[in-house]
Each structure stands twice: as C-alpha cells, then as structure tokens.
Amino acid sequence: MSHTDLTPAGLGLHADCGSCAGLCCVALPFSASAGFAVDKDAGTPCTNLLADFSCGIHAHLRERGFSGCTVFDCFGAGQKVSQLTFGGRDWRQEPRRAGQMFTAFAVMRQLHELLWYLADALTRPAAAPVHEDLRRALRETDALTRGTAEEVTDVDVAAVRQDINALLVRTSELVRAEVGGRTKNHRGADLIGASMRGARLRGANLRGALLIAADLRGADLGSADVIGADFRDTDLRGADLTNALFLTQAQVNAAKGDAATVIPAGLDRPAHW
C-alpha cells in the first residue's frame, strides 16, 4: 500500500465485481423476504450466478425480488480475496478450498469496512489530534488484509474492531463538537418508522440507531455520526447528509432518496433514487 494514498480508492475499498469470483453470491445465505425472492444456504451458489461469475438478472434485481443484492457492499473485499489472497484461483477451480475462501471473504469484508471508517476519519481536520493513531491503525489493518489465506482467516476481527472503535469514537466526539450547541443523542435508539421530517440532526449521535422506514424527509444530518445505523427504507428525500460521519454505500443503497438528497463525496447516488 502507498503510504500517501489512504483514500478509499487508494485502499481498494470500492467493489469491483468484474474482478471477483462471485463470492457474495455463494458465500452468503439469504432467506425469502422483502429483499430476496428465495432461500439460499451459505456456500450454495445463487441460481442467478452465471459461469463467468456475473449476475444473470443484474439489470432487473429489484423487479425480480432481489433488492437485497442491490444494497449489499463488500467494500472491495471480494476482489481482494479473489485476486490477492487466492491469486486468481476460484472456488470452482479448487472446490476443496471453497470453505476457506468463503471464510476469508467474511473476515476481509469486516476488515475493509474498518478501513473505510479509518479513511473517513483521516479526512476530518477536527480529528487531527488522533490522526497519527488513525494512520497507524489503518496501516496495521491494511497489512492484515494482505496476509496468506491462513493468516487472514485467523485474524481476531473482534479485537481489531475494539481497538479501532476507540479511535472512531474519539473522532466522532471531535468532529461533532465543532457543530456547536446541544446535539441530539440517539445512539442505539429504536426509531423504526419514526416521523422525523425536517428534524435538525446536525452533529447528532446516531450510532447503531434503528431508522428502518423512518421519515427523515428534509432532515439535516450534516456531520451526524451514523456508523452502524440501519437505514433500510429510511425516507431521505431532500435530506442533507453533508459530511455525515462514517456513512457507507450500503446504508445509502438501503435508503430511499431523490435528486435533492445530499450525500458525501465518494458515495454513488443509487439508481433506484
């Protein structure tokens, strides 16, 4: 890894499905629900997965009942495992190593998610007091992602997450303090279906909040900490998420938005908005 390029792009944290052996379409289980049309066990290839590892219904996933696939984001873990960890070999070529590949993918995705948060934290001038520790944590975590298959699968992700979380919490405190005034604390709150249209949530703590199907139309979530917040079907039409802390593509994909929704640079506006 370049010691100067600590951006998500430089770290390879954007999914490149064309360089992946369809790992998310095989390794992960799903159940028939609003997000998936059928049941599938972990380790069983999705029936829509083609021989070249592409999706046979990619352009029509939502219409065919697979909206869950459009929400999922591996943070670039798929191509890392396929191309680096296993050197371009895939689970069809080496079925005996399939289980190891799937385990490595699960670990890698979690490590890449942590890298995403660390990279985000390093863009925050207010977090300058912890930038040195953030860079150290980022480089150490990145090094873990570049180990052998055995080394990757042996990573104690919980321990890594615990150490990094302390830095992310401190980053959050420093950034949100710049907002000024009293900010809302909805950490871990059950806000499922809540009516919060036009709410002032600038600098709020929404870590782990359940915002499923909440009405946040026109709400101000600028500089809010949304790490781990559940945005499934959250109505973000016209909402302002400028500089929202630790927002991910998966969270954006899970929500409902429109052309007036403001999202941070580096995230893509979902096609279904």
Domain extents in the chain: 17-28+72-175, 182-273
Convert the pLDDT of each residue in 40-82 to its tens digit. 999 999 999 999 999 999 999 999 999 999 999 999 999 999 9
The answer to whether 76 and 112 have CB atoms below 8 angstroms apart is: yes
The answer to whether 45 and 25 have CB atoms below 8 angstroms apart is: yes
d(CA 183, CA 205): 8
Neighbour-count burial of 159, counting CB atoms closer than 10 A to its CB (0-12 exposed, 13-18 middle, 19+ buried): exposed
Residue 80: name the closest of 150, 146, 132 by CA: 146
d(CA 234, CA 232): 5
The pLDDT of residue 2: 47
Convert the pLDDT of each residue in 131-158 to its tens digit. 999 999 999 999 999 999 999 999 999 9
The pLDDT of residue 1: 47
Chunked mean pLDDT (size 10), the chain, 273 residues: 72 95 96 91 96 95 94 97 97 96 98 98 97 97 98 98 98 95 94 98 98 98 97 98 96 97 94 92
The pLDDT of residue 3: 52
DSSP 8-state symbol, 269: P
The pLDDT of residue 111: 98
The answer to whether 207 and 227 have CB atoms below 8 angstroms apart is: yes
Sign of CA dihedral 70, 72, 77, 81: negative
Question: Does domain 182-273 match CATH 1.10.760.10?
Answer: no
pTM of the model: 0.94
The pLDDT of residue 175: 97
